[in-house]
Structures are given as C-alpha cells and as structure tokens.
Amino acid sequence: MSDLDNLFNSFENSEDDDVFRQPTGEEKIVFIHDSYQKKFGRVFEFSDEEYQILDSLIQKSELPSNSYQFVAAVKDFNVKEEDMTKESFAKHRELLEQDLEAIKPDLVIPLGNLALKTLTKKSGIGNKRGKEFTVKLEDDGNTQINIVPSYHPFSLYAEPKLRGLFLQDLNNAYSKFILQINKFDDSPYELINGDINKFDELMDECMNSEAVAFDLETEGLDFQKHKLLTCGFAFKENHSFVFPIFHKEAEWTPSDLEHIKLRCGELMASKSIVKIAHNMKFDYKFLRQWGLTHFNNIEDSQIIHSLLDENKPHSLKDLTKEYFPNELDVY
C-alpha cells in the first residue's frame, strides 16, 4: 500500500480529527490545502499548530460542522510553490479538477498561494483573498465552481492579525454561496438632477431622520484643485439618493445650486441628526471648499472600525466585504 493510500488510514486513526473526518458525500464546501506533509512516518495535511488555529477558526465561523471537506491541490508530499513548474501545475490542476468534478461542491476555498494557483492559475493571496471567482472545469467545460480564496493556516498561525480576515472570508462566502443570502436585491436609489422640488422632498426626509449616511465623489484628491462632483445621502434602510453638484452633466441652475448648498449646510450643522461618513477628513475639506462651515454630530465609520479591530483594513470596500459581502459586485 502506498504512502498516499495510508494517508486516509492515518486520518481515520487520528484522535483529534474534528476537522479531518472522513467525507460523507454531503459536504457543500471544499477547502483546498497545498500538499500532503510527511514527517517521521506520519502523513498529514497541516502541522499541529496549523491544525489547532484552523480548527478553532472554523468552529467560530458560521460553517456547520458537517458542511466541508479537505482536498489537496498537489497530490504529493512536502511540496512548496517554488518546487512547482508550469508542467507540474498543469498536471496537478487536472487531478484537482477531477476531484472537484466528482464532489460538485457549491463553494471552494483555496488556502494559500499554492492551492490558489493550482486551481485558478492566479497568484497573490494577499490581494485575492476574500474575492469571488468562478472557474469552469476543463474536463467537461460545463461544471462551474464558486471560489473564495483565503489564507493558509501557517499564515494564520504566524500572523494573528489575519485571523479576523479569514473568519470574515469564511462567513461571507458561506452566506452568499451556501445560504444564498442577498440583502439588497431590490435596494432603490434615486438620481436627482434638475428637479429641485424632488430634491427638497428627499432632503425633508433627511431632516426628519435620526441618522443620515453620506458620501462624496470628486474628480481628484486635491480639494484646492479638483471639483466636488456628486453627493449621496441614505436616510433609511435600503433607500438613498444621489445628486450632481459640479458634474458636467448637472442640470441645476445657479440658484438651484445655492439652494442645494444651503440645504446640505443645514443638515451638516444639525446637532440632532447623526451624519455618518467614511474618512470624514477627506469629505470635510471638499465641503468646506464648497462653502459649508458648520459640522455637528458626525460619525466616521473608518475610525469606528479601526477602534473595533486595528489589525483589519478599514477601506469602504473592506467594510462592504465584511458587513455586506453579497454587494461586492458593485466594485
């Protein structure tokens, strides 16, 4: 019997195989690890330290305990990415696709660069993690699989700050591809351009709200050189509106623009209404340049997120990925 044949016997006989149980055929999620490891006569997928951190994170995630299984990207022992050639990648990609064709998972999560590159021909896990890919298996050209890469357990062990991102990747992918939750399929937003009465109607709703989120779009980063193009407000769940200011397609009269500035200034100055921005220091400069002078009761989601976990990235896209993963198509 070969070492690879013995691999599964070693998993069956393991005392701590909560993660590495024998698949039942019912699993909808496949984790792809790099290669099998062989040391001192033992064959395993991860080191003890890697196993412990991976097991603890999966248990903390929303994944049910019977929803996943593990598959090797490279059907060999102790292989590193630098050991692989173009030909060996192609060989093991074919074998991996045969595994996936047999399993037909709803979601595949490659762990680390080697697994990602073997399956998708892409590399750079730091930039690719948490992003969604679809790949058609080359065997029949019909089977399409959903892929969301994340970090290898070694990286999670070595860099604790990545663990929150890994957990985020798992929960987001599970929500979208297994639970198939999409919270904003019917989210309306309105473009208001040239209709000052409609603008006033929506601004009245803002002024009667407890909180209003807002965002600006500009033609550049320098508030002294670049124009404020558009502004958007969201004053209740799943409803927002956007209006041009100095955009080339704006249809406002000069008096309309003065009125718009006045109404926006009233909102920003209100002490009773919470205004929510992201990276407010940027928006503040452009609003001041426009002529707004008073700002009260401002909350900044970038600062709040950094206080919650300083080790996570805090861009608006990162927050969308964390809290509204099914809306990433907008990016």
CATH of the domain at 79: 3.40.470.10
Residues 121 and 34 in one domain: yes
pLDDT at 24: 56
For residues 171 and 37, membership in a common domain is answered with: yes
Q: Judge if 36 and 58 occupy the same domain.
A: yes
172 and 296 part of one domain = no
Q: Where are the alpha helices (DSSP H) in 227-298?
A: 254-269, 280-290
Same-domain check for residues 209 and 284: yes
Q: Look up residue 112 and give its DSSP letter.
A: S
3-state secondary structure of 25: coil
Same-domain check for residues 135 and 226: no
Type of residue found at 310:
E
Token reading at 9: 């016997």
Residue 312: CATH number of its domain: 3.30.420.10
For residue 237, is it within any domain? yes
Boundary (domain end) residue, out of 178, 199, 232: 178
What six digits make up the tokens of 33? 């690890």
Tell me whether strands 29-39 and 42-44 are parallel, antiparallel or unpaired: antiparallel
Q: Give bridge partners of residue 30 from the DSSP assignment.
A: 69, 108
Regarding whether 315 and 220 lie in a shared domain, the answer is: yes
Residue with the bigger pLDDT between 7 and 147: it is: 147
CA distance linking residue 196 with residue 192, whole number of Å? 8
Q: Does 58 map to a domain? A: yes
* The domain boundary residue, chosen from 146, 178, 210: 178
**What total number of domains does the chain contain?**
2
- Proportion of the chain above pLDDT 90, given as a percent: 52
Tell me the pLDDT band of 182, cut-offs 50, 70 and 90: low
Which residues share a beta bridge with 144? 136
Joined tokens for residue 216: 């600006």
Instruction: Please check whether residues 58 and 121 belong to one and the same domain.
Output: yes
Same domain, 23 and 144: yes
| pLDDT classification of 109: cutoffs 50, 70, 90 | very high
Over residues 249-289, the pLDDT tens digits come to 999 999 999 999 999 999 999 999 999 999 999 999 999 99
pLDDT at 2: 42
Strand partners, 150: 111
Average the pLDDT over each of 2-16, 116-130, 166-180 and give the range with the smallest value: 2-16
Whether residue 67 lies inside any domain: the answer is yes
Question: Residue 184, SS3?
Answer: coil
Per the structure, the complete domain to which residue 37 belongs is given by: 3-178
Burial string for 280-304 (b: 16+ CB within 10 Å, else e) reads: beebbbbbeebebeebeeeebbbee
State what percent of residues in the chain have pLDDT above 70. 85
265: amino acid identity, one letter: G
Domain boundary among 178, 201, 218: 178
